[in-house]
Amino acid sequence: MIPEIDIRGSIAQKKTEGSLSFSYEADETLLDIPFVKFAGPVRAELTYRIFDDLTVEVRGTISFVLEGACSRCLADASEEIVYEAEGFFARGEDDGETYGYTNGKVLLEEFLRDSLMFALPSRLLCKACEQWENE
């Protein structure tokens, strides 16, 4: 379940920062390594800060585990990935650099989707192949 940030409510309570901790099911279609899948939900640990101009900064980590077949030798492999995510939200429409938000509420879906795409590796290696590649 992905929470939303209630900017209007926060401002009303004179609260300009907060943290969010939640997990959600990843969109499997973002992952295109053959024979690899998400081993469980994606975990997000985020903090947010609301600035005077009502721009919102969101940062933190998303983490998840991939499991499946090694991209080199097809042996069982798994890897935990922790990614530092950061995004800015401004009132109105998306403008390419910042995400937009309307009705005083920041929705995190698109930001999380983009962060997950950046976080995903292009392949998964088992321990032996990882070692072999690093030699």
The contact set with Zn ion (CB under 5 A) reads: 70, 72-73, 75, 126, 129
Q: How far is the CB of 126 from Zn ion (least distance, A)?
A: 3
> Residue 11 is inside which H or E element, if any?
helix 7-12
Q: CA 132, CA 87: separation in Å to the nearest integer?
A: 36
Tell me the β-bridge partners of 100. 90
Q: How far is the CB of 27 from Zn ion (least distance, A)?
A: 26
| Closer to Zn ion by Cβ: residue 23 or 78 | 78
| Closer to Zn ion by Cβ: residue 31 or 70 | 70
Residues with Cβ < 8 Å from 79, sequence gap 6 or more?
A: 65, 66, 67, 121, 124, 125
Is residue 101 within 8 Å of 107, Cβ to Cβ? yes
| Closer to Zn ion by Cβ: residue 65 or 129 | 129
| Closer to Zn ion by Cβ: residue 5 or 70 | 70
Lookup result for tokens 């081993």: 39
Q: How far is the CB of 121 from Zn ion (least distance, A)?
A: 14
